Amino acid sequence: MPPSSPLHVVIVGGGFAGLNVAKGLGGVAGVEVTLIDRRNHHLFQPLLYQVATAGLSPAEIAAPIRGLLSRYDNVRVLQGEVTGVDLTTRQVTGSLGDIEYDRLVLAAGAMHSYFGNERWEVFAPGLKTVEQATEIRRRVLEAYEAAEHEDDPDVRRALLTFVVVGGGPTGVEIAGALGEMSRFTLARDFRNIDPALARIVLIEAGDRILASFDPRSSSRATRDLERLGVQVWTRSRVSVVDAEGVEVGAERLAARTVVWAAGVKASEIGEQMSGGAPVERDHQGRVYVGPSLQIPGHPGVFVLGDQAHVEGADGHALPGVAPVAMQQGRYVAQRIRGALKTGADDYPPFVYWDKGQMATIGRSRAVLEAGRVRLGGMFAWLGWLFVHIYYLSGFKNRLFVLLSWAWSYFSFARGARLIIQKRWRSYEDAPEDVHPSADTSP
Amino acid sequence: MPPSSPLHVVIVGGGFAGLNVAKGLGGVAGVEVTLIDRRNHHLFQPLLYQVATAGLSPAEIAAPIRGLLSRYDNVRVLQGEVTGVDLTTRQVTGSLGDIEYDRLVLAAGAMHSYFGNERWEVFAPGLKTVEQATEIRRRVLEAYEAAEHEDDPDVRRALLTFVVVGGGPTGVEIAGALGEMSRFTLARDFRNIDPALARIVLIEAGDRILASFDPRSSSRATRDLERLGVQVWTRSRVSVVDAEGVEVGAERLAARTVVWAAGVKASEIGEQMSGGAPVERDHQGRVYVGPSLQIPGHPGVFVLGDQAHVEGADGHALPGVAPVAMQQGRYVAQRIRGALKTGADDYPPFVYWDKGQMATIGRSRAVLEAGRVRLGGMFAWLGWLFVHIYYLSGFKNRLFVLLSWAWSYFSFARGARLIIQKRWRSYEDAPEDVHPSADTSP
């Protein structure tokens, strides 16, 4: 067989899906991989709420993509933004110029959706990036600081009211962590206010929180949240979000800190694909892909993770969780390797192995469901802890998160209580009269 | 003796000086302490260069002031900005309103000075705050990322040239860490560039780097830096700093990343003092204080740390280092306690116990001078390590920094290689049409 030029696989996104494709193709002869991400780091998103609530430092749950893949000589990592895909000429476009591919893997993830009220974002940040997490941390910690020297009781009450919109796992985890922080961590640190009197309200539009869980798990989680002082409002729809708080129906809730955990939409790259057969998307912007995770009519173009609409065994779309993305990443790598070896594209379709779901509530409670097993309380929390530490990428992070948690657990403290200012001066903030070559000061 | 109202001590600044005053007065009967700081955290500044060079996370060298002092019921911590002092009515003014004091301790520290060229700051940030450190980290890491996909060799060279201005301990430590990072940490991670070819230039206006050390220590440090690929330019004065690099005399050095470690000036609070005898300041803005650390003509008003000009035994001003600030803080607390006990203000003057000085160069070298002892190389580095870990405030930080270092040492990796974006959307960035009460979206 004559030597042929290597197969160029371009991966967009270094999340769970993209990273697993790259790892699966690392070191495979005849394959060249280019992974492109806007950020230099892979983020362990399931623990991002711990950064927002000052339990962990950003670096403890993030690792440079470049470092995670440095052992594979055939994998190249580029930091840049992909803005479009030309499916006819087979290239991606963006800040790095045009890059041609033989196989394309789109795994650019999702961001928060405000259901048409995007201007709410400034008042109620979501939780998808490190910057958003440190911004939420800043707002929460500054609210307590401001309350400490506030004389007006109404303003103080608004400062000490924290609203979390959305009762899915992320919302439940943030609310639980906020409850625990006010009850235990901050309790001794203030003189004029009692942090334990902070009001935390979790607002959910549906009948119950954790709707994807068994109703008994929802009840259990609600009780655990209430034990931490969190008020759970179900069947409540937020109609206004502004600098003063939120409105739920006719009721106004004065709150200086609002966190959004209510909805997601897929990355916009799915909208910027041109050429050939039309690309169909669902109402969340996710691209419909077939059982091989390729776009119908576009063989060799895969869409994975939060960006993809893949039907599960029950006919519903697979949820946007880490296990789905990881399994899809490994599958695509295997499929590409298989086709390379046999020369035929007859690899079996993707099947999601559902290992269950879980959500943690504060320092020692969780709900966990796996097959027929349903757990709550301390045992579920230990299970949650084990799974999350096991999956944290990179040895150092795993060890450090374990130590951080162990320390927080036994001391009731939170290690990462830093308020970092919103902005620092940069090139763009330079005064108008500063010009590269005009400066001739002595 | 009839019960009298407690003595109110107001401390401005939660650095090494202010924190030690508060600790020294914590739990003392008859004293109420209010510590005011702009930030919620105490920062271990001697290790800030490790944050800038991705060796440590911000939370590993910072701790909430409130938490450090929570055990003392008579100490109140407020986050706010002090903008002026009225020495006649004995009150401080600022974002928290007017606060009266019986004793005032000014310990607001210093910031970088650009010797009249303040507009250089946007191109060459200094290293005094967590935000500046993460900004420098962002610039350094992004320079490598951009170089990886840059085709123009001139631009690539400018991206991989790092200039550090100022050959004092901070400049030496940053340059050494940058050298080590390019030589060892990043060496394997890139495909198109060789990070080991990065050019790091340390520019010093004086005859030699580390001017406060023995000339033999300066030579040793220069050799150690050169071993890490750092070029040391002495007798070189920077005349221009702009977005393209720096000019040194007639020579232009194209560099996308410039770090400023050349000069400091005291906090501006010293300039905003009114009433009574005039307050004298030196050319760096430091307030001249007498041997009791009080402003002449203003008994009960102390100035400490980087904000104070205190004459040492040799007639020169004491250097702006952590041991001076810590000793002064403890001294003022003792002095106030002593006067409270005896009723007389006859406490002996402040004497600085100089334990020596040190600077580290990369992963395993340092220079250390203590009395007649002069060390270099690995032994000095171990001494440096021991002293810094010993002084790191708070048990957790100490343990974590030790682990972080141990891990970096044996793996040659750097744990905190996160590029965090400069800004995130906030209230102030909200679109004009968003108004708290105008929002009536469904």
| Active centre residues of B (catalytic) | 173
Q: According to the model, what pLDDT value does residue B397 have? A: 63
On whether the CB atoms of residues A33 and A74 are closer than 8 A, the answer is yes
Out of A70, A418, A422, closest to residue B62 by CB: A418
3-state secondary structure B333-375: HHHHHHHHHHCCCCCCCCCCCCCCEEEEECCCEEEEEECCEEE
Question: What residue of A is the nearest CA neighbor of B411?
Answer: A396
C-alpha atoms less than 13 angstroms from C-alpha of B5 in its C-beta half-sphere: 4
**A130/B80 touch (CB, cutoff 8 Å), yes or no:** no
Find the mean pLDDT for residues B10-38. 96
CA nearest B85: which of B303, B309, B340, B339? Answer: B303
On whether the CB atoms of residues A298 and A316 are closer than 8 A, the answer is no
Structure tokens at B358: 């040190």
Best probe of the B interface among A92, A95, A136, A189, by most B CBs < 10 A, is A189
**A422/B426 touch (CB, cutoff 8 Å), yes or no:** yes
On whether the CB atoms of residues A12 and A107 are closer than 8 A, the answer is yes
Close Cβ partners of B365 (under 8 Å, ≥ 6 residues apart): B176, B224, B376, B377, B378, B380, B381
In angstroms, the CA B283 to CA B270 distance is: 12
Render the burial of A101-120: b for 16+ CB within 10 Å, e for the rest.
Answer: bebbbbbbbbbbbbeebebb
Structure tokens at B220: 């040793």
Out of A130, A192, A434, closest to residue B420 by CB: A130
**B242/A437 touch (CB, cutoff 8 Å), yes or no:** yes
Structure tokens at A94: 């963006």
**B122/A420 touch (CB, cutoff 8 Å), yes or no:** no
**B240/A403 touch (CB, cutoff 8 Å), yes or no:** no
pLDDT, tens digit, for every residue of B247-262?
998 899 999 999 999 9
Q: How far apart are the first and last CA of chain A?
A: 68
pLDDT, tens digit, for every residue of B293-350?
999 999 999 999 999 999 998 889 999 999 999 999 999 999 999 999 888 878 999 9
Residues of A with Cβ-Cβ distance to B129 under 8 angstroms: 421, 424
Residue B440 pLDDT greater than 60, yes or no: no
CA nearest A414: which of A189, A129, A199? Answer: A189
Close Cβ partners of A409 (under 8 Å, ≥ 6 residues apart): A363, A364
On whether the CB atoms of residues B191 and B181 are closer than 8 A, the answer is no
A173 catalytic? Reply is yes
**B434/A122 touch (CB, cutoff 8 Å), yes or no:** yes
CA nearest A253: which of A161, A335, A173? Answer: A161
Render the burial of A327-350: b for 16+ CB within 10 Å, e for the rest.
Answer: bbbbbbbbbbbebeeeeeeebeeb
Out of B70, B80, B429, closest to residue A189 by CB: B70
Best probe of the A interface among B111, B148, B420, B437, by most A CBs < 10 A, is B420
CA nearest A71: which of A414, A394, A423? Answer: A394
**A418/B131 touch (CB, cutoff 8 Å), yes or no:** no
C-alpha atoms less than 13 angstroms from C-alpha of A275 in its C-beta half-sphere: 12
On whether the CB atoms of residues B35 and B130 are closer than 8 A, the answer is no
Residue B116, classified by CB atoms within 10 Å of its CB into exposed (0-12), middle (13-18) or buried (19+), is exposed
Residues of A with Cβ-Cβ distance to B127 under 8 angstroms: none
pLDDT in tens, chain A (442 residues): 445 789 999 999 999 999 999 999 999 999 999 999 999 999 999 989 999 998 888 888 888 899 899 999 999 999 999 999 999 999 999 999 999 999 999 999 999 899 889 899 999 999 999 999 999 999 999 999 999 989 999 999 999 999 999 999 999 999 999 998 888 888 888 988 988 889 999 999 999 999 999 999 999 999 999 999 999 999 999 999 999 999 998 899 999 999 999 988 999 888 889 988 899 999 999 999 999 999 999 999 999 999 999 999 888 999 999 999 999 999 999 999 999 988 887 899 999 999 899 999 988 899 999 988 999 988 898 888 888 887 875 655 666 777 777 766 666 566 667 777 653 333 333 333 333 332 323 3
Beta strands in A65-122 (DSSP E): 75-79, 82-86, 91-94, 99-100, 103-106, 110-112
Residue type, A258: V
Question: What residue of A is the nearest CA neighbor of B427?
Answer: A122
**B76/A191 touch (CB, cutoff 8 Å), yes or no:** yes
In angstroms, the CA A144 to CA A192 distance is: 10
On whether the CB atoms of residues B385 and B359 are closer than 8 A, the answer is no
Out of B413, B436, B442, closest to residue A67 by CB: B413
In angstroms, the CA A383 to CA B126 distance is: 46
CA nearest B230: which of B138, B120, B334, B362? Answer: B362
Q: How far apart are the first and last CA of chain B?
A: 68
On whether the CB atoms of residues B203 and B246 are closer than 8 A, the answer is yes
Question: What residue of A is the nearest CA neighbor of B187?
Answer: A70
Out of A63, A79, A439, closest to residue B242 by CB: A439
pLDDT, tens digit, for every residue of B374-430?
999 888 988 888 888 878 766 556 667 777 777 666 665 666 677 776 543 333 333
**Locus of tokens 């150690």:** B224
